[in-house]
Amino acid sequence: MQEAINRILDKYLIEKRKEFAQNRLAHFIRSDVSGIVQAMVDSEYPGKFKVSASPGQGQWAEIPWIGIFDKDITESPRHGYFVMYIFTADMSAVYLSLNQGWLFFKDTFGAEAKEKIATAAEAYRRILRVDENYDYDTITLRADGELGIGYELGHVYGKKYEKGMVPGDEALKRDLLGMIALYQRLMEIIGTESPEQKIKEIISEHEASSEVTAASFMDEAKRPAQSVVPEIVRSDNQSVEVNFLTLQEVSEKSAVPTEKTRKYLDELERAGICSSSIVEGERLFPLNCPELVSRLDTLSYEKPTLEDAIKVIKEGDEMDLKKLKDLEEKVDKLSKSMDSLSSQFSSHVAKYHSTTEKKGFCYHFKEAFRSIGKKKS
């Protein structure tokens, strides 16, 4: 992957001076590069995403791109939202970007398209919150065309790779899969049914909210997050405060990287071990999740698959419940024995006080224990 990106950055402007038809670099981008990225994505999400790469259609593009599209949302960069590698027009850098389909905004909003796509990007950043692994600064593609400007405005989160400083394949894969996880998180919140209509609703809600602007988002990003988010659950007669943690807080408390934490939480929820809640567009988790994530991370190194590690946690929890039940039964039996002893003791003390011939306190205390022993036998 690193080699492919470097080849595009090094050769694109040179090849752009040549005929587009039958060009070897154009073919390399369309076929080889898309195949490399497809294999990388399929290693984690087999069959879920379509990868396309374009140096242009019929002529050289001002900004070539490599798109990763969730098939449930879109299969092209014309509409919806997606992950994309976008090369700058001067080939000085490439951006990994969570971005949006410019043509949908242009066709839907006309003269207001630029304002609306920028508003949607702000709304998505508000929904997803700050992710320390990616930048939310604006991107500069150095493009003159409308499409390049649209991608600049539609950028949500991303990472910039300067020419000559592109990291190795492992780092590129880690960044890409992390960005796809953000993409999936956004999809979970927005949903896949009528995404264009949902996008319009999100824009309207964002515009109606007086508290959300680009400046307020930056201010919010700089403020330290609260450690616990309270939610009030009301019953018929009382109110009970229930505390939840954000993804970032679970990650910090478990000392597990954010993307790994998200993956673990997804698996734990799928297995029915924990459950999350969506509050104001944010996914929140129970207070025991840091411990579960930490256990799963440790077990993931000991077990051949993550499913095996999940099974150990699930069986362990069931075993703990069984032990707790056994302990409760033992405590119940002990409590009944103590009640019986108390009753027998009281009976013999009463007999001691009522009998004419006093045999002494110790005699009656011993008799109480003897009577219990006789009942058991």
Whether residue 352 has pLDDT greater than 90: no
For residue 159, which of 134, 180, 194 has the smallest C-alpha distance? 134
Q: Are residues 146 and 36 in the same domain?
A: yes
d(CA 40, CA 105): 30
Residue 41's pLDDT is what? 95
Query: Of 287, 302, 317, which residue sits at a domain end?
Result: 302
Residues 341 and 370: beta-carbon distance below 8 Å: no
pLDDT per residue over 164-221, tens digit each? Answer: 999 999 999 999 999 999 898 888 877 777 777 888 888 888 777 634 444 454 554 4
Of the listed ranges 29-43, 225-239, 296-310, the one predicted with least confidence: 225-239
Question: Mean pLDDT over all residues of the chain?
Answer: 81
pLDDT band at 228 (very low <50, low <70, confident <90, very high): very low
pTM of structure: 0.57
Q: Is pLDDT of 235 > 60?
A: no
DSSP β-bridge partners for residue 86:
65, 95
CATH code of 88's domain: 3.30.930
Q: Are residues 209 and 251 located together in one domain of the fold?
A: no
The C-alpha atoms of residue 194 and residue 105 are separated, in whole angstroms, by 15
Kindly state whether residues 97 and 190 are assigned to the same domain. yes
Mean pLDDT of the 342-363 span? 61
DSSP symbol at 135: B
**159: closest CA among 131, 187, 186, 184?**
131
On whether both 14 and 149 belong to a single domain, the answer is yes
* CA–CA distance, 99 with 200 (Å, rounded to integer): 16
Percent of the chain with pLDDT over 90: 41
pLDDT at 96: 96
Q: What is the tally of structural domains in the chain?
A: 3
pLDDT of residue 56: 93
Last residue of a domain, one of 222, 242, 276: 222
Same domain, yes or no: 147 and 241: no
What does the chain come to in residues?
Answer: 377
Distance, CA of 118 to CA of 153 (rounded, Å): 5
Shared domain for 262 and 166, answered yes or no, is: no
321 within domain boundaries: no
Is there a domain that residue 214 lies in? yes
DSSP symbols for 177-201 = HHHHHHHHHHHHHH-SSSHHHHHHH
> Mean pLDDT across the stretch 1-23?
95
Residues 74 and 155 in one domain: yes
The CATH number of the domain holding residue 248 is: 1.10.1660.10
What is the mean predicted confidence (pLDDT) over 3-22?
95
Q: Do 46 and 93 reside in the same domain of the chain?
A: yes
> What is the distance between the alpha carbons of residues 158 and 179, in angstroms, rounded to a whole number?
8
Together in a domain, 128 and 188: yes
User: Per-residue confidence at 158, pLDDT binned at 50, 70, 90?
Assistant: very high
293: left (phi over 0), alpha (psi -120 to 50) or beta: alpha
- Domain membership of residue 294 (yes or no) is yes
Q: Look at residues 190, 183, 196, 176 and name the one whose alpha carbon lies nearest to residue 70.
A: 183
Task: Evaluate whether residue 319 is within a structural domain.
Answer: no
What's the confidence (pLDDT) of residue 237?
45
Contact predicate 100/132, CB 8 Å? no
127 in a domain, yes or no? yes
Is residue 76 located within the same domain as residue 206?
A: yes
Looking at the fold, whether 14 and 99 belong to one and the same domain comes out as: yes
Q: Which of 106, 73, 100, 75 is nearest to 86 (CA)?
A: 100
User: What residue numbers bound the domain in which 153 lies?
Assistant: 2-222
